[in-house]
Structure 1
């Protein structure tokens, strides 16, 4: 039996976040952009595997957002 979780996160530019996450995604993860949301579905064979993958994904989203924001702030500061 497959376990599935769908995560919806809202971003200023979800396409940039999706691109930042792509290298870490596995074959069990499928992402798409819907408006200002990044929608990711994760499927795993076990509950423990699903939990671990969701946990990793949430950390990766947080890191991606932090890096993207730092880059924007740095770029904005240099152009003033």
Structure 2
């Protein structure tokens, strides 16, 4: 039996954040942008594996979002 979760995260720069987290996706993960949010579906064979993956993914999205915000601020102040 497979365990799954879908995470929808509203971020300021969803295309950029999705592009940043996609390289870390495994074959059982799909990331897309929908309605201004990064949406990732994750499947794992166990609850523990799903929990670990969700924890890692949450950190990755948080970091990617913060870097995108800083980059955007830097680019707008340098123009």
Shared fold per TM-score greater than 0.5: yes
Paired residues, number: 79
**1:14 and 2:24 equivalent?**
no
CA shift, 1:13, in A, is 2.8
Structure 2: state its 5+ residue gaps.
Answer: none
Matches within 5 A, 1:4-43: 4-43=4-43
The normalised TM-score by structure 1 is: 0.92
Secondary structure in structure 2 of the residue aligned to 1:7: strand
The 4+ residue runs of structure 1 with deviation greater than 3 A are none
Report which stretch shifted further, 23-32 or 63-72: 23-32
Please report the RMSD computed on the Cα atoms of aligned residues, expressed in angstroms. Answer: 0.9
Structure 1: state its 5+ residue gaps.
Answer: none
